[in-house]
Amino acid sequence: MAVIHHTVLKPTKLELLTSWLPSRPWYAGGAGAPELAKAGGFRLDDPQGEVGIEFMVVTDTCGAQPVAYLVPLTYRGAPLDGAEHALVGTMEHGVLGRRWAYDGCHDPVLAAQLHALIEGRVQAQDQNTSDVPDREVTRSCTGDGFVPANFTTTATDDREGTELTSPHGATLRLNRVLRPAPDDTSLLPPHATGHVAGAWHMPDGTSARGLFAVLYTGPRS
């Protein structure tokens, strides 16, 4: 179980994301710098205990309407070979020292654990407290159980999200621009075989829920 250290980060995660988000194809803000606030998220455990895995939701209020983004991040104690293009930045952690923060869609540890979450083999953990499950995160998986996906970390971005593909024909899509939904499955696309949904806080103090990730294990049409 990952241990959450309540300590100082320099720069902070939000400071790193303020510089990084405008470079993403799915960033919906204008020419000005993002105005970010942490709005929710959850964590997953690395079975080896080496990599921090966080699914952070941030809201950006720089535009006419606030936009919520899902930002999966991994934190490592050394650079990830071949992932220079996915580096969000480095931070000095008050307990662990230097940490390399990556866009988690390009990290094989996050991809594997997200797939395990969808299939019910692991449980989402509270974002801020050690050894506490996050009951607001829900998931589903249809079919015959475990699918040997082996998702690559050659992630493809578009204007709404990021897709990971598998040699076995499966696709894992992460919704980067989050859309509130009346229930967890109302936005579930046809032919989806699994999903993860969660909650976040809106700038006006209300809460919203929506789809974070969708799994397809076969053709979409």
Tens digits of per-residue pLDDT, 115-138? 999 999 999 999 988 889 999 999
Helix (H, G, I), strand (E, B) or coil at 138: strand
How many angstroms from the chain centroid is the CA of residue 195?
13
pTM for this prediction:
0.92
pLDDT of the residue at 56:
98
In degrees, to the nearest 5, what angle opens at C-alpha 59 toward C-alphas 11 and 103?
55
Phi, psi torsion values for 40, nearest 5 degrees: 155, -170
Q: Can you name the residues that pair with 93 across neighbouring β-strands?
A: 9, 97
Lowest-confidence segment of 29-38, 97-106, 137-146, 185-194 by average pLDDT:
137-146
Helix (H, G, I), strand (E, B) or coil at 91: strand
CA distance 174 to 207: 20
Confidence of residue 161 (pLDDT cuts 50, 70, 90): very high
Output helix, strand, coil percentages for the chain, rounded to the nearest 5: 15, 35, 50
Lowest-confidence segment of 78-82, 109-113, 156-160, 167-171 by average pLDDT:
167-171
Confidence of residue 144 (pLDDT cuts 50, 70, 90): low
> Which CA distances in Å does 8 have to 94, 96, 108, 112?
5, 10, 27, 29
Confidence of residue 167 (pLDDT cuts 50, 70, 90): confident
By the 10 Å C-beta count (0-12 exposed, 13-18 middle, 19+ buried), 211 is classed as: buried
* Contacts of 102 by beta carbon, 8 Å cutoff, 6+ apart: 73, 74, 75, 76, 80, 83, 86, 87, 88
Helix (H, G, I), strand (E, B) or coil at 89: strand
pLDDT of the residue at 94:
66
Residue 109: its H or E element: helix 108-118
**DSSP secondary structure letter of residue 94:** T
In degrees, to the nearest 5, what angle opens at C-alpha 104 toward C-alphas 45 and 184?
75
What is the residue whose two structure tokens read 């250290």?
Answer: 5
- Checking if the pLDDT of 160 tops 80, the result is yes
Lowest-confidence segment of 95-99, 103-107, 136-140, 170-174 by average pLDDT:
95-99
Helix (H, G, I), strand (E, B) or coil at 103: strand
